[in-house]
Amino acid sequence: MMHEKKIRNKVNVLIIERGVELIRQLKRICSKKKFVIMATQTIEHGFEHFEDHAIDILILTGSVARLGRIRGMGFLDIISEKSAATQILFLATSKDMSLVFSALKRGSYQYAKLPIQDGELMMLIDAALLHQPKYSPNLLLKSQSRKISFESMVGGSSKMTDVYRQIRQTISTDMPVLLTGETGTGKDLVAKAIHQQSNRSNKPFLPIHLGALPPELVAGELFGYEKGAFTGATQSHRGLFEKAEGGTIFLDEIATIDQKVQISLLRLLETQKLERIGGVRTISANVRIVAATNENLSEAVEQGRFREDLFFRLDIFQIILPPVRERGADILLLVNHFLKQFSDDYHRNIVGISPECISLIEAFDWPGNVREIKNVIHRAVLNCNGGILHSNHLPERLQRARKQSPLIKLSMGCTLKEAEREIISLTLKWTKNNRRRTAIMLGISRRTLYNKLDSYNIL
């Protein structure tokens, strides 16, 4: 973040305040410094600034925190979660001081009473910048979200960046590609990305789910048939390989096709030619094949269900899609992606997720992978009438799957500092060094957790 700020050579300050006096005061004392002052009267509009700018300092007042469809504490939860490098200053009058403790708990760097003197306000800003964290991107930034996506896929984990790299490797060749992985991992999106990245992108991309078709109809759909070839063939029919000429055909659930279709497909791969069912004319088939399966094709070969020679022809370049549970922080990236998508679709304007809801999402194994996340968030958005997604909007299976935390035993006589260090250390170990989840479980902001890790020298 500090490196980014050096490049910008500016300090972005966002103030959310109903009145104009504090805004004028801020602009006056920062006029001779390298500050960019942005101001808005509502939290809803505050989110828009976070989407377009890397905010160094957020100044939120108590008068705003109490109002609006999205309340201030929920807003601070989201900022602490998605923009941990933003330093938060909470300013409140005497009647709003009850909010101060909640604001500090949610990650505010400092607070002060209003009205505030010029010198004190400038001192708070300077101190906040001095202690600004040097980590964590602003995940609310639209430009940042583009860095964690590829074509229609979302994910920034090392396993997904490896998938993106392999997709790019397929660009310079027309070889078949075999996609393997669990159900719901996004094999259809990878197939489409391969087509869009290739020099065939201006030609058709035709997907077919082979497992959804009756076995007796598969050959006709793929290779076509002539009029009178069988009962019911009242006219000639072009198959998908003809329709996809020059483009790409995606054969999903390739392991479900029978032996006869396997032989025809093998011949097409070897000769780039086909014949319709009941036809005698040889037809050129300049088509790239991307096949997918959630089965182990090697085992299918050993069991005699899949031809070994066809397997070798398809397995020239294999891309293995990782399950969601092995993709780390990608889970929340996917959740936020679908949250925005469905929120926009249904005009719900849902801007964030509560810490308890995040904890449930991260603790779940997601056996249905990306598809299951999409369906769960779709339902949650429909159930949510406010601006924040809460745990009660999630299905019961996520509630039941919450893992029981182990007990932490402390020796009688240990100091508060010793107890705090032990609790933090053991919680971090239990979450497998997932600092976001650790902070949520401890009920503190990530910024506070980082400060405590540094204070206690916990690596």
387 pLDDT exceeds 80?
A: yes
* Torsion 448-449-451-455 (CA) sign: positive
104 pLDDT exceeds 90?
A: no
Name the more confident of 2 and 139. 139
> What are the extents of the domains in the chain?
2-141, 158-321, 332-400, 416-455
Using alpha carbons, list the distances in angstroms from residue 154 to 92, 135, 375: 40, 22, 16
pLDDT in tens, 219-242: 999 999 999 888 888 899 999 999
What type of residue sits at position 319? Answer: I
406 pLDDT exceeds 70?
A: no
Mean pLDDT for all residues in the chain:
86
pLDDT at position 351, please? Answer: 80
Closest by CA position to 435, among listed 446, 426, 443, 425: 446
Confidence class for position 404, pLDDT limits 50, 70, 90? low
pTM attached to this predicted model: 0.65
- CATH T-level fold of 2-141: Rossmann fold (3.40.50)
Name the more confident of 387 and 243. 243
Name the more confident of 401 and 64. 64
Q: How many CB atoms lie within 10 A of CB 422?
A: 16
pLDDT at position 68, please? Answer: 56
Q: Which CATH number fits domain 332-400: 2.60.40.10, 1.10.8.60, 3.40.50.720, 3.40.50.150?
A: 1.10.8.60
Using alpha carbons, list the distances in angstroms from residue 129 to 25, 71, 82, 353: 19, 26, 18, 27
DSSP alpha helices (H): ranges in 60-184?
Answer: 62-65, 72-82, 100-105, 118-130, 142-147, 158-169
- CATH T-level fold of 416-455: Arc Repressor Mutant, subunit A (1.10.10)
Contact between 377 and 337 under an 8 Å Cβ cutoff? The reply is no
pLDDT at position 6, please? Answer: 41
Low-confidence winner among 149-163, 263-277, 297-311 (lowest mean pLDDT)? 149-163
Q: Which CATH number fits domain 158-321: 3.40.50.300, 3.10.580.10, 3.30.200.20, 3.90.1720.10?
A: 3.40.50.300
12 pLDDT exceeds 90?
A: yes
Mean local confidence (pLDDT), 435-453: 78
Name the more confident of 456 and 341. 341
Confidence class for position 291, pLDDT limits 50, 70, 90? very high
Contact between 261 and 219 under an 8 Å Cβ cutoff? The reply is yes
Same fold, 332-400 and 416-455: no
Mean local confidence (pLDDT), 27-45: 86
